[in-house]
C-alpha cells in the first residue's frame, strides 16, 4: 500500500516555464489537497478537490491550476513559473473532510524556480 | 490566521515524557483538535485527534481541557526519532481546510 505518491521529487525550472506535479493515492480517498510550504512556515492550501471532476481554490491559488479527472489522481499545474513559487509542495488525501478522518501526506516535491 | 498558539520550540531529555501545549481559545463546539508532526521536511504525519475526551494511541496521548480552550500532546517516552516540528491544528469543516501554524520544534536531547 503506497499511500500518497508525488512525482517528481525534485525539479528546477526557469522563470516562465510550465510544469505539472502529479499526486496519486491508492486509498480510495474522496478528498485531495495541494499545499505549499515555505522555509520555517506551516503549510498553506493551494487547491483542493472533494471528488472526481471537482476542484476548488484554497488560501493561495494564484498562479496554479489543478485537475482531478480520475479519483486517484490530483494534478497541480504551473503555467508560467515565477521565483515566488519556489517552495516544497505537498499533496494530501483524506477519506472524508474533517470530522474524525485524518489526512495522509505525500513526501513532497521540492521546486526551485530560477 | 491559525486558530492555535504553540511555543516555537521545546527541549526534552530522551526517555522522559514530552508535553507539548496548544492554546485554541476560539475553538467551536464541533471542531476537532488534530496533532501532526513533520520530521525534517518530510510530509506531515498524523499523530492523534480529539473532540472533548482525552485520547490515547500507540504514539501519544491527547489531553483536552474541559473548556476545550487548550490541549496537551504527551509523548510518554521520547526518543531521538521524535525530534520534529509538531503542529496543533483545529479543523475547519466549512472550508475543508486545515489551518497550519508554525508549530513547535521539539528537540529530544540524549
pLDDT tens per residue, range B29-80 = 878 899 999 998 789 998 999 989 899 999 999 999 999 999 999 999 999 9
pLDDT at residue A42, as a whole number: 83
Cell of B47: 499523530
By the 8 A CB rule, do B14 and B52 touch?
no
Confidence of residue B101 (pLDDT cuts 50, 70, 90): confident
DSSP state of B24: -
Q: How far apart (Å, rounded) are the C-alpha atoms in residues A95 and A102?
A: 8
| Confidence band for A24, pLDDT divided at 50, 70 and 90 | very high
Q: Does residue A84 sit in helix, strand or coil? A: helix
Contacts of B45 in chain A (CB under 8 A): 105
The reply to whether residue B44 touches residue A44, judged by beta carbons under 8 angstroms, is: no
Cα dihedral sign, A57-A108-B92-B86: negative
Q: How near does any CA of chain B get to the CA of A65, in Å?
A: 18
Q: What element of type H or E holds B35?
A: strand B33-38
- Side-chain-side CA neighbours of residue A23 (13 Å): 31
The distance of A39 to chain B (nearest Cα, Å) reads 9
- Contact of A74 with A68, CB cutoff 8 Å: yes
Residue A100 pLDDT > 60, yes or no?
no
Chain centre distance of CA A22: 8
| A–B CB contacts, 8 A cutoff, strictly below | 58
Amino acid at each position: 500500500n503506497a499511500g500518497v505518491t508525488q512525482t517528481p521529487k525534485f525539479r528546477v525550472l526557469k522563470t516562465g516555464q510550465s510544469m505539472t506535479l502529479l499526486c496519486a493515492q491508492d486509498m480510495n480517498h474522496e478528498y485531495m489537497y495541494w499545499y505549499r510550504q515555505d522555509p520555517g512556515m506551516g503549510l498553506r492550501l493551494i487547491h483542493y478537490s472533494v471528488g472526481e471532476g471537482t476542484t476548488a481554490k484554497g488560501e493561495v491559488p494564484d498562479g496554479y491550476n489543478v485537475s482531478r479527472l480520475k479519483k486517484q489522481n490530483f494534478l497541480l499545474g504551473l503555467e508560467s513559473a515565477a521565483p515566488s513559487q519556489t517552495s516544497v509542495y505537498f499533496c494530501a488525501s483524506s477519506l472524508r473532510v474533517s470530522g474524525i478522518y485524518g489526512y495522509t501526506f505525500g513526501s513532497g516535491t521540492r521546486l526551485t524556480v530560477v | 490566521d491559525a486558530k492555535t498558539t504553540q511555543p516555537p520550540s521545546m527541549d526534552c531529555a530522551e526517555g522522559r515524557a514530552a508535553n507539548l501545549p496548544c492554546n485554541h481559545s476560539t475553538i467551536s463546539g464541533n471542531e476537532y483538535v488534530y496533532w501532526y508532526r513533520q520530521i525534517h521536511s518530510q510530509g506531515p504525519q498524523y499523530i492523534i485527534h480529539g473532540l472533548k475526551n482525552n485520547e490515547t494511541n500507540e504514539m501519544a496521548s491527547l489531553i483536552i481541557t474541559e473548556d476545550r480552550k487548550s490541549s496537551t500532546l504527551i509523548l510518554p517516552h521520547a526518543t531521538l526519532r521524535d525530534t520534529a516540528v509538531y503542529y496543533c491544528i483545529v479543523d475547519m469543516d466549512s472550508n475543508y481546510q486545515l489551518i497550519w501554524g508554525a508549530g513547535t520544534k521539539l528537540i529530544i536531547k540524549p
